[in-house]
Amino acid sequence: MDKNWWKESVVYQIYPRSFYDSDGDGIGDIKGITEKVDYLKDLGVDVVWLSPVYESPNDDNGYDISDYKAIMKDFGTMEDWEELRDELHNRDMKLIMDLVVNHSSDEHYWFQEAKKSKNNPYRDYYIWHPGRNGREPNNWKSSFSGSAWEYDENTNEYYLHLFSKKQPDLNWENPELRREIYDMMKWWLDRGIDGFRMDVINFISKVPGLPDGKVKEGEKYASGSKYFRDGPRIHEFLQEMNEEALDLYNVMTVGEMPGVGVEEAQKYTDPSRNELNMVFQFEHMDLDSGPNGKWDLKPLELTDLKESITKWQVGLNGVGWNSLYLNNHDQPRIVSRFGNDKEYRLESAKMLGTFLHMLQGTPYIYQGEEIGMTNVQFDSIEDYEDIETLNMYKEKVEENGEDPASVMESIYAKGRDNARTPFQWNHTKHGGFTTGEPWIKVNPNYLNINAEQAVEDEQSIFHYYRELIRLRKKHPIIVYGDYQLILPDHEKIYAYMRNYEEQKLLVVCNFSDDEVEFKLPQEISFTAEESMIGNYGYGEFPSDSYAAFTLKPYEVRVYKGK
Residues annotated as part of the active site: 199, 256
DSSP 8-state code for residue 402? -
Among 63, 321, 344, 464, binds ligand NOJ (CB under 6 A): 63
Residues contacting 134, CB < 8 A, separation 6+: none
C-beta of 98: minimal distance to ligand NOJ in Å?
8
Regarding 199 and contact with ligand NOJ (CB under 6 A), the answer is yes
C-beta of 163: minimal distance to ligand NOJ in Å?
4
C-beta of 282: minimal distance to ligand NOJ in Å?
10
C-beta of 8: minimal distance to ligand NOJ in Å?
25
Among 12, 19, 163, 366, binds ligand NOJ (CB under 6 A): 163
Q: Which residue's beta carbon is nearest to the bound ligand NOJ? A: 63
Q: Which is nearer to ligand NOJ, 87 or 330 (CB)?
A: 330
Contact 29, 79 (CB under 8 A): no
Q: Site for ligand NOJ (CB under 6 A): how many residues? A: 9
- State the Rg of the chain over Cα: 23
C-beta of 291: minimal distance to ligand NOJ in Å?
23
DSSP 8-state code for residue 359? S
Q: Which is nearer to ligand NOJ, 35 or 286 (CB)?
A: 286
Q: Where are the beta strands (DSSP E) in 400-501?
A: 482-486, 493-500
Is the four-CA dihedral 312, 317, 322, 326 of positive or negative sign? positive
Regarding 330 and contact with ligand NOJ (CB under 6 A), the answer is yes
* CA distance linking residue 314 with residue 306, whole number of Å: 12
Q: Which is nearer to ligand NOJ, 391 or 545 (CB)?
A: 391
Secondary structure of residue 128 in the 3-state scheme:
strand
Q: What is the CA 536 to chain-centroid distance, rounded?
A: 28
Q: Which is nearer to ligand NOJ, 17 or 560 (CB)?
A: 17
Q: Which is nearer to ligand NOJ, 100 or 127 (CB)?
A: 100
* CA distance linking residue 181 with residue 203, whole number of Å: 15
* Site string (95-114) toward ligand NOJ, x via CB under 6 A: -----x--------------
The alpha carbon torsion through 150, 152, 155, 159 (nearest 10 deg) reads -20
Among 160, 200, 469, 532, binds ligand NOJ (CB under 6 A): 200
Q: Which is nearer to ligand NOJ, 200 or 238 (CB)?
A: 200
Q: Which is nearer to ligand NOJ, 61 or 340 (CB)?
A: 61
C-beta of 55: minimal distance to ligand NOJ in Å?
15
C-beta of 107: minimal distance to ligand NOJ in Å?
15
| C-alpha distance from residue 33 to each of 37, 83, 397 (Å) | 6, 10, 38
Tell me, what amino acid is at 200?
Answer: V
* CA distance linking residue 78 with residue 72, whole number of Å: 9
C-beta of 424: minimal distance to ligand NOJ in Å?
21
Q: Which is nearer to ligand NOJ, 193 or 200 (CB)?
A: 200
Q: Which of residues 169-198 bind ligand NOJ (CB under 6 A)?
A: none
**Quick one: three-class SS letters along 479-518?**
HHCEEEEECCCCCCEEEEEEEECCEEEEEEEECCCCCEEE
Q: Which of residues 335-394 bind ligand NOJ (CB under 6 A)?
A: none
* CA distance linking residue 489 with residue 184, whole number of Å: 49
Among 60, 264, 341, 347, binds ligand NOJ (CB under 6 A): 60
Contact 424, 442 (CB under 8 A): yes
Q: Which is nearer to ligand NOJ, 421 or 450 (CB)?
A: 421
Q: Which helix (H) or strand (E) holds 85?
A: helix 78-90
* Site string (256-285) toward ligand NOJ, x via CB under 6 A: x-----------------------------
| Cβ-based neighbour number of residue 379 at 10 Å | 7
Regarding 46 and contact with ligand NOJ (CB under 6 A), the answer is no
Q: Which helix (H) or strand (E) holds 186?
A: helix 175-190
Crossing angle between the packed helical segments 175-190 and 234-244, to the nearest 10 degrees = 40
| Cβ-based neighbour number of residue 191 at 10 Å | 14
Contact 500, 481 (CB under 8 A): yes
C-beta of 144: minimal distance to ligand NOJ in Å?
8
Contact 375, 413 (CB under 8 A): yes
Which residues sit at the interface with ligand NOJ, rule CB under 6 A? 60, 63, 100, 163, 199-200, 256, 329-330
